[in-house]
Amino acid sequence: MKRFLKIAGISLMLAGSFAYAHTFKLANTIKNLGPMVPEFNAECKYYSQYVNFINPDQLKKWMDENKDFTIVDVRTKDEMKAGEIDWPDYDEYPRGVVDVYAAMGALKKNRVYVFLCSTGHRAVLAGGELVKWFHFPKKNIYVLRGGLNGWLAAGYPIVNTITDFGGFNGLKAVCHPKEPIVIDQY
């Protein structure tokens, strides 16, 4: 139970690391979670071999070219309320249930998927598991580098049911964590 709480705590801290999404390796300085950070980084690094990465500019180009792909958002339901990338084929499967949906056949092996979360960590794990355990072709699985934070940092907008956000300009009031979480993008 203690291990689960630490992993859940890391996930919550990652979700709150909005302004620090410029790298992909977690710092070992997160209070009370130091021992878990190297394990989490190792897991992300391991699963990164099973996915392709796409940066925000490449994804925007795919959208402009109307390429046939599905965005799979693996953030929590509460995180998803903040907004999403405006794309008609957008699925929301929280990280913990992606494998369940894959097992039920909701995700098809012949489709191209771009996984995203806030920073890219959970997206790497979700996409990598599809390739490793469900035998999806690696050529069809992409992870948005930097996640939604990277998308916003590149100046691209997100939408929600309340308002539109254009990059970080509308998000200046977001508080920074007391200890920055440094995330590295492979």
Question: Using one digit for the tens of pLDDT, what is the confidence trace for 65-82?
Answer: 999 999 999 998 888 888
Question: Rounded to two decimals, what is the model's pTM?
Answer: 0.72
CA dist 114 and 177 (Å) reads: 28
Distances (CA, A) of 84 to 59, 66, 67, 78: 14, 18, 18, 12
With a cut of 50, list the residues of the chain below it in pLDDT. 4-24, 26-31, 163-186
Residue type, 27: A
Which domains are delineated in the chain? 2-171 (3.40.250.10)
pLDDT of res. 141:
98
* Cβ atoms < 10 Å from Cβ of 3: 10
Reported as a single tens digit per residue, the pLDDT across 7-28 is 444 444 444 443 344 444 544 4
- Alpha helix locations (H) across 91-136? 98-104, 121-134
Q: What percentage of the chain reaches a pLDDT higher than 90?
A: 48
pLDDT of res. 54:
97
Distances (CA, A) of 170 to 37, 75, 94, 110: 31, 21, 25, 38
